[in-house]
Amino acid sequence: MTQTLTLRRPDDWHLHLRDGAMLEAVLPETARHFARAIVMPNLVPPVVTAKQANDYRERILKALPKGMSFTPLMTLYLTEATDPEDVTAAFANGFATAVKLYPAGATTNSASGVRDLDKVMPVLEAMAEIGMPLCVHGEVTDPAVDIFDREAVFIDRVLEPLRRRLPGLKVVMEHVTTQEAVAYVRTADSGPVATITTHHLIINRNHILVGGIRPHYYCLPVAKRELHRLALREAATSGDARFFLGTDSAPHVDPLKECACGCAGCFTATNTMSILAHVFEEMGRLDRLEGFASLNGPAFYGLPANADRITLVKGAPVPYPAKIETGAGPVTVFDPGFPLHWHIE
Ligand code: NCD
Ligand code: ZN
């Protein structure tokens, strides 16, 4: 008997689409299954102003193949020079849905990020007032802090003090990777929500480092110990509406991953829904996939769930390309390490 699962069309609440030839190649991979995505602003140079966000949105829509529909929800890259009025105007006229906080130096293209939170308090205060969410890359950059501890330390040193100072600010802890982050979301009252990626439900740090170094499993925040992966799987499949999907699909061409100083990022747009169905089935919670991928995110952002539906069908393993070719070079598709039986009709 074939097993099928029908759900509201999902959205991706954290996505890197890049620009130019890369954008053209990766956009259909997302738009095939997802209706909307929160689009990250870490281009070079970054998307800082309302005008830049709107120009980028237009480039995305222009790159969308005929016959596909997709709504990019834009974010503004927070800098210490960001103008609060530009941000509030961008939110009011729909040019931007959220603001992205990168601690300076935390990840790919984050050099223009924030060093001193005091300098951006006027922007954050304005956002709290109008209900505009702050998407946070939650890792400290202090060289004295071990890379595997940077998320947990960020909660204590930065996030909790910020939330005490500005309790009205809507915060998304993005791509959480630790049991500490899961616990923080669960216990902080009227607190932050969190996105969880596809790949962090699959890999722990052994996958990156045992038996040879695997650059295509390297992303930031870096995957942690197995106990953290298990906490993420539990949170994602728990039905708790504070957790939802943000794939953080982050394409880099192979030469920039497979080298002496490889870029961080896993490209999961192509097979995310098949992998998620596998995980939720393994957890005995297929019925909760719709909440995680299609309902909880829109509820947080105050948007309606998508009206149309997708159907997943379980059958013989679905082949996925090992790489997609882009005008900028090949991009390796995330390999979950097991066959995928769920395909999207
Ligand atoms: C992202 C990228 O490549 O832009 N990389 C990653 O490892 N996730 C940046 C980010 O989200 O940290
Ligand atoms: Zn990201």
At 278, the pLDDT band (50, 70, 90 cuts) reads: very high
Q: Is 248 a catalytic residue?
A: yes
> What pLDDT score was predicted for residue 137?
97
Q: Which residues contact 132 (CB under 8 A, 6 or more apart)?
A: 87, 88, 91, 96, 97, 98, 99, 126, 170
In this predicted structure, the answer to whether residue 149 has a pLDDT above a threshold of 90 is yes
Which residue CA neighbors atom 4 of ligand 1 most closely?
108
- Strand, coil or helix: 332: strand
The number of residues making up the chain comes to 345
Residue to probe by mutation, ligand 1, list 219, 257, 261, most atoms within 8 Å of CB = 219
Percentage above 70 pLDDT, the chain: 99
- Range scoring the smallest mean pLDDT among 45-49, 109-113, 155-159, 268-272: 109-113
Q: Give the pLDDT score at 197.
A: 99
Sign of the CA dihedral with 224 first, then 251, 9, and 98 last: positive
Position 268 scores a pLDDT of 98
Which is higher by pLDDT, 104 or 150? 150
Find how far residue 238's CA is from the centre of its chain.
Answer: 19
Angle at 57 between CA 44 and CA 114, to 5 degrees: 40
**Is the bond preceding 221 in cis, omega lying within 30 degrees of 0?**
yes
Give CA separation, 322 vs 29, 230, 305, 325, 345, in Å: 13, 26, 32, 10, 21
Judge whether residue 328 has pLDDT over 80. yes
The pLDDT tens digits of the residues spanning 96-135 come to 999 999 998 888 788 889 999 999 999 999 999 999 999 9
Place of tokens 């953080």: 248
Kindly report, residue by residue over 67-82, the tens digit of the pLDDT.
999 999 999 999 999 9
**E strand segments, the chain:** 3-8, 12-15, 36-39, 71-77, 98-101, 134-136, 171-173, 193-196, 243-245, 309-314, 323-326, 329-332, 342-344
CA of 5 to the centre of ligand 1 (A): 31
Smallest CA-to-CA distance from 1 within 314, 272, 274, 253 is with: 314
Q: Are 339 and 264 contacting, i.e. CB atoms less than 8 angstroms apart?
A: no
What is residue 108's predicted lDDT score, i.e. its pLDDT?
Answer: 78
* pLDDT tops 70 at residue 1: no
**Residue 242, amino acid:** R
Give the tens place of pLDDT for each residue, 185-241: 999 777 899 999 999 999 999 999 999 999 999 999 999 999 999 999 999 999 999
Question: Which residue's CA is minimally distant from atom 6 of ligand 1?
Answer: 265
In the chain, domain spans: 3-344
Which ligand lies nearest to the CA atom of residue 251 in the structure? 1
Please provide the average confidence, as pLDDT, over all residues in the chain: 97
Distance 111 CA to ligand 1 centre (A): 13
Say yes or no: CB of residue 107 within 6 Å of ligand 1.
Answer: yes
pLDDT exceeds cutoff 90 at 90: yes
Whether 16 lines ligand 1, by a CB cut-off of 6 Å, is yes
Residue 279: pLDDT over 90? yes
Cα separations (Å) of 153 from 78, 133, 140, 145, 173?
Answer: 21, 22, 7, 8, 13
245 by DSSP, 3-state: which? strand
Residue 288: predicted pLDDT: 98
Mean pLDDT of 18-22: 98
- Does residue 177 register a pLDDT over 80? yes
Task: Kindly tell me if the per-residue pLDDT of 36 is higher than 70.
Answer: yes
Q: Which amino acid is at 28?
A: P
How many angstroms separate the most distant Cα atoms in the chain?
Answer: 60
Candidates 55, 248, 254, 335; catalytic one:
248
Name the region of 284 (left: φ>0; alpha: ψ -120 to 50; beta: rest): left
Say yes or no to pLDDT of 25 above 90. Answer: yes
Please give the CATH topology (third level) of the domain spanning 3-344: TIM Barrel (3.20.20)
Indicate if the pLDDT at residue 289 is higher than 70: yes
